[in-house]
């Protein structure tokens, strides 16, 4: 792995420890065997193993998602306890940070829980899977959460693009068209919105939203970089270089392979630095936590 003189930050990571897996439903086995790039590791992956793999890939921090997926009582639903992520962050505060998942049907109880996670447990952002609720991200149920994100000064990630077939029994509709972010950004221009999963197959729509709105960004997780559409690469490497952040969606994509495929493309050195680290430091305000952007004079800065 090339030493660029700085470490990357992975903005989308799933905790995969044995404890975390105990909170996930049975369909994960079927789904990840078919979709994941690499061995399934159904018995779990320790935090220490994750850190070793991050080190080998040149990644300093990973954002762990306390995911909420679906409504209780419905097939496929699971809510990762925030405490599981908070404990991982507490154990390795120099390697992991937490994102709190939201459930739009929890109403103000959910808003208060999100606030507690940020103020008391140290979470740095929010996370949303719209397709698990069959509810477009511009629906009214989300707006109290969005308003609270503005108040707390945190970004919110949300999956855009198509959903996948997670099991034969539970199929999610693709409700995350990037164009829905247009409504949100017009209504709440202060809200920092991040469309994850590249936006595929509506990636050009996601690029348009990111370019139009000051506070709309793209995260490039879940899809192998070597298969990203050329328009995505061109956006990252040119006029969108300040609006895209790196993510893997580990263990869907593995750290080393993902970084290697990015470097195989050959981004401009200054662009790579923004994409892999500096953009996310600025977006999440990580300097207040002592996490610095890579300075211009370091290797890869010209």
pLDDT tens digits for range 61-116: 999 999 999 887 776 788 999 999 999 999 999 999 999 999 999 999 999 999 99
| Number of domains forming the structure of the chain | 1
Q: Which of 130, 67, 121, 129 is nearest to 97 (CA)?
A: 121
Contacts 24+ apart (CB under 8 A), 37-44: 37/224, 37/252, 37/253, 37/254, 37/257, 38/251, 38/254, 38/257, 41/16, 41/251, 43/18, 44/16, 44/17, 44/18, 44/19, 44/20
pTM for this entry: 0.93
Q: What's the CATH number where 258 sits?
A: 3.20.20.140
Q: Is residue 44 part of a domain?
A: yes
Q: Is residue 189 part of a domain?
A: yes
Q: How many CB atoms lie within 10 A of CB 60?
A: 15
Alpha-carbon span 199 to 182, nearest angstrom = 14
Do you know the residue count of the chain?
A: 302
Mean pLDDT (the chain) is 91
Q: Is residue 1 part of a domain?
A: no
Q: Is residue 176 part of a domain?
A: yes
Alpha-carbon span 84 to 64, nearest angstrom = 10
199: left (phi over 0), alpha (psi -120 to 50) or beta: left
Q: Dump pLDDT digits (tens) for 17-39.
A: 999 988 887 655 555 555 555 55
Alpha-carbon span 53 to 75, nearest angstrom = 33
Q: Is residue 203 part of a domain?
A: yes
Alpha-carbon span 76 to 55, nearest angstrom = 33
| Structural domain containing residue 92 | 8-289
Mean pLDDT per 10-residue interval, the chain, length 302 residues: 92 95 70 55 87 98 95 80 98 98 97 98 97 94 98 97 69 87 98 97 97 98 96 98 97 96 97 98 98 77 42
Q: Is residue 301 part of a domain?
A: no
Q: Is residue 3 part of a domain?
A: no
């Amino acid at each position: 792995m090339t030493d660029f003189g700085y470490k990357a930050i992975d903005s989308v990571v799933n905790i995969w420890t044995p404890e975390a897996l105990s909170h996930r439903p049975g369909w994960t086995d079927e789904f990840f065997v078919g979709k994941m790039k690499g061995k399934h590791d159904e018995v779990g992956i320790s935090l220490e193993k994750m850190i070793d793999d991050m080190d080998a890939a040149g990644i300093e921090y990973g954002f762990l998602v306390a995911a909420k997926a679906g409504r209780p009582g419905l097939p496929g639903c699971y809510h990762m306890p925030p405490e599981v992520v908070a404990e991982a962050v507490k154990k390795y505060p120099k390697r992991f940070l937490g994102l709190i998942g939201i459930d739009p049907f929890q109403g103000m109880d959910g808003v208060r829980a999100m606030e507690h996670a940020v103020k008391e447990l140290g979470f740095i952002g929010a996370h949303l899977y719209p397709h698990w609720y069959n509810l477009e991200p511009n629906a009214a149920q989300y707006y109290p959460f969005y308003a609270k994100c503005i108040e707390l000064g945190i970004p919110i990630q949300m999956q855009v693009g198509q959903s996948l077939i997670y099991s034969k029994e539970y199929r999610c509709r693709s409700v995350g068209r990037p164009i829905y972010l247009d409504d949100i950004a017009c209504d709440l221009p202060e809200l920092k919105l991040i469309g994850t999963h590249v936006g595929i197959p509506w990636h050009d729509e996601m690029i348009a939203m990111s370019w139009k709105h000051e506070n709309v960004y793209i995260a490039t997780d879940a899809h192998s970089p070597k298969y990203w559409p050329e328009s995505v690469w061109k956006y990252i490497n040119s006029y969108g270089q300040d609006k895209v952040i790196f993510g893997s969606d580990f263990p869907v994509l593995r750290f080393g392979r993902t970084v290697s495929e990015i470097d195989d493309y050959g981004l401009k050195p200054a662009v790579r630095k923004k994409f892999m680290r500096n953009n996310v430091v600025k977006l999440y305000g990580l300097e207040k936590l002592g996490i610095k952007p890579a300075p211009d004079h370091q290797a890869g800065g010209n």
